[in-house]
A = this chain, B = another copy of it.
Amino acid sequence: MLQITKKSKRDIIMEQAAALFKEQGYPAVSMNDIADKVGVKAASLYNHIKSKEDILQEICFRFAHEYMTQLNRIAQSEQSISHKIAAIIDLHVTLGTHNAAAIIITNYEWKHLSEPYLSDFKAMRKSYEQTFMDIITEGVAKGVLKGIDPTIVMFTVLSALRWIPFWYNDKRGVTIEDLKTNIKTLILKGLEKE
């Protein structure tokens, strides 16, 4: 089978651990559980990772960074407010459907990080939310968005988007494109007709 770069054992551990963390939550998963899934004894994992939290850190920061980078690019672009919000929705749908396990962990398991990583992560998350909120506030000021409280909009929209990897599943017959256009319609144009 052709593949440019072989998946390292570390990557396999990350992948299997992510699947378990997603299903059971970080504290409920033991090193033994991870080892079993990888097909190795627990102690052998330490040839590839530093600690259990090492796994959590890698996942959380990798995707937090990915979100930040992409959001900043959207925020600094010269597009309209509506376009920016649409792009943010697309971003969350894309990441949330292609990397469901890792995104769930980034969104819900980060609280198990220890200091100083926890504080770093929280700062990134806050910055992310603020950037999003600035876009909404600008939209309201310019009169292109309804005068809804920006904090409420930000959390409501972000909540809807962060939940996608929990319920989305190809087998439901909803394509990723469906998801993008439908959520954009719902959020931007609302549920009621005309």
Chain A residues engaging chain B, CB cutoff 8 angstroms: 23-28, 82, 85, 108, 111-112, 143-146, 148-149, 151-153, 155-157, 159-160, 162-164, 166-168, 172, 174, 178-179, 182-183, 185-193
Contact = CB atoms under 8 A, between A and B. Distances in A.
A186 to B, nearest CB: 6
A82 B192 contact: yes
A64 B84 CA distance: 37
B149 A178 contact: yes
A191 B81 CA distance: 11
Nearest to A109: B25
A149 B190 contact: no
Kindly report how many copies of this chain are found in the complex they form together: 2
A191 B186 CA distance: 9
Question: Which of A111, A144, A148, A166 is packed against the most chain B CB atoms within 10 Å?
Answer: A148
**Residue in A145, A182, A185, A191 whose Cβ sees the most chain B Cβ within 10 Å:** A191
Contacts of A191: 85, 145-146, 148, 153, 187-190
Closest 6 A/B residue pairs (Cβ): A190-B190, A159-B163, A27-B28, A27-B27, A160-B160, A189-B190
A189 B146 contact: yes
Given A191-B85, A191-B188, A156 B183 contact: yes
A26 B28 CA distance: 9
A190 B193 contact: no
Given A146-B189, A160-B163, A188-B190, 10 more contacts: A25-B27, A143-B193, A153-B182, A156-B183, A159-B164, A159-B167, A162-B163, A188-B191, A189-B192, A190-B191
Contacts of A148: 182, 185-186, 191
